[in-house]
Amino acid sequence: MTIAVVSHDAGCSELLCAMISKHRDDVLWHIFAHPQSPMTIICERSNLVFTPIDDAQKQLEILKPDVLFFGTGWQEKVERPYIDYCKQHAIPTVAFLDHWSSYRERFGYPEVNWEKNCGDFTAVHDEKALKLALDFDLPHPIALPNLYLQKLIAAATVKAISPTQNLLFLSEPTDVVAKATYGNENHWGFTQYTVLEDIFKNFTKFGCAAITIRLHPSEISSGFKKIMKKYPHIRVQINDAKTFDLTDQLLNAKVILGFNTMALYTAALMGKNVISYLPSHNRDCLLPIPASQQLRTLKDLKTSILSPISLSLNDFGMDFALFLETLQRAFNERTA
């Protein structure tokens, strides 16, 4: 079996590359990705060969794949021409969903005919994601194990890293996403920059010695530096996501604060102290972490919140062989 894979954003790319790495000899894989994209960085780290994205029709006519796996996300929509070709030629497609947010919007909702961007099947990796996919009536949800998190947590347990007294802020381009989706960068009532200012104003309550800002792969540091100048007494360093290992930074931090990033959930699985901070009722925490760690304000930050929590990965999803068999059987039934 030949499986074509196309992805851009980091979340789904991690899921896909973890699957490919574990099953690299079970099928023939062919990855399409933009050079210097999060997907290619992950491929290089995982020793996976990729082909630069070009004319999808020409590439797929030559490859003749049996199925297409594609990532979904907010950044480039590189998968769209590949999906179109596969649907025109009765090649089954599988959309991989990461996280628990914007399950319809990543396919183009609320635009007219957004459903055409969905896969014939929808791959999800935990119970909450499965429920969301079913609630939104996404095509044929299929439960798969999260091989990426399994591998990440296993590797973290054997790392010898001494924790610091630093607060790690996991930034996201909230303003850019809000602007692109709703036409207003302050749609949710906050941005990554206003949150950093909140952290500075309440910094003494965290009991930390310094702040580390981990930039999202699509962010630059200039906006943060303007705010930092107003608080010269607080030690701050800005780290590029492409340079600094995420697992090391999570293990190294005393407190980890972010919005709805998967990295917060990952840190909770590592037994770290995490806070999902969304200072507005316009946006809810979607992470499967305790409600005590979901904050709307830092003004009344309690010591009890600043403690490690304990979560574990549950067994979930079918094995790879059954996954491929399920795809083939379901697609045959639907095209008969």
262 with 136, same domain: the answer is: no
Query: What are the pLDDT digits (tens) for 276-288?
Result: 999 999 999 999 8
pLDDT band at 99 (very low <50, low <70, confident <90, very high): confident
Does the pLDDT at position 312 exceed 90? no
How buried is residue 212: exposed, middle or buried, by Cβ count under 10 Å (0-12/13-18/19+)?
buried
103 with 158, same domain: the answer is: no
pLDDT band at 313 (very low <50, low <70, confident <90, very high): confident
Q: What is the CATH classification number for the domain harbouring 110?
A: 3.40.50.2000
28 with 54, same domain: the answer is: yes
Range of 137-146, 235-244, 298-307 with top mean pLDDT: 137-146
Residue pair 276/285 in contact (Cβ under 8 Å)? The answer is yes
- Distance between CA 73 and CA 76 in Å, rounded? 8
42 with 106, same domain: the answer is: yes
pLDDT at res. 334: 63
- Distance between CA 287 and CA 175 in Å, rounded? 20
- Distance between CA 119 and CA 87 in Å, rounded? 9
Phi, psi of 18 (to 5 degrees): -65, -40
Query: What are the pLDDT digits (tens) for 170-228?
Result: 999 999 988 987 899 999 999 999 999 999 999 999 999 999 999 987 888 889 999 99
289 with 190, same domain: the answer is: yes
Does the pLDDT at position 330 exceed 80? no
Taking residues 227-251, what's their average pLDDT?
A: 93
Query: What are the pLDDT digits (tens) for 27-85?
Result: 999 999 999 899 999 999 999 999 999 999 999 999 999 999 999 987 789 999 999 99
Q: How many domains does the chain have?
A: 2
12 with 30, same domain: the answer is: yes
- Please report whether residue 310 resides in a domain: no
Taking residues 95-119, what's their average pLDDT?
A: 93
- Please report whether residue 281 resides in a domain: yes
**Closest listed residue to residue 324, CA positions, set 50, 78, 2, 38:** 2
Q: What is the CATH classification number for the domain harbouring 170?
A: 3.40.50
Does the pLDDT at position 145 exceed 90? yes
46 with 90, same domain: the answer is: yes
**Closest listed residue to residue 280, CA positions, set 193, 190, 178, 196:** 190
Percent of the chain with pLDDT over 90: 75
- Please report whether residue 298 resides in a domain: yes
181 with 261, same domain: the answer is: yes
- Distance between CA 316 and CA 297 in Å, rounded? 34
Does the pLDDT at position 333 exceed 80? no
CA distances from 188 to 109, 176, 212, 213, 299 (A): 18, 12, 24, 21, 19
Token code pair at residue 326: 């399920």
Token code pair at residue 154: 């296993």
Rounded (5°) CA angle 255-17-315? 65
169 with 93, same domain: the answer is: no
pLDDT at res. 331: 72
pTM: 0.82
174 with 190, same domain: the answer is: yes
E strands, the chain, are: 2-6, 28-33, 50-52, 67-71, 93-96, 121-124, 141-143, 166-170, 210-214, 236-239, 255-258, 274-277, 294-295
- Distance between CA 183 and CA 47 in Å, rounded? 39
**Residue-range definition of the domain harbouring residue 120:** 2-146+315-335
pLDDT band at 311 (very low <50, low <70, confident <90, very high): confident
272 with 136, same domain: the answer is: no
- Distance between CA 217 and CA 36 in Å, rounded? 11
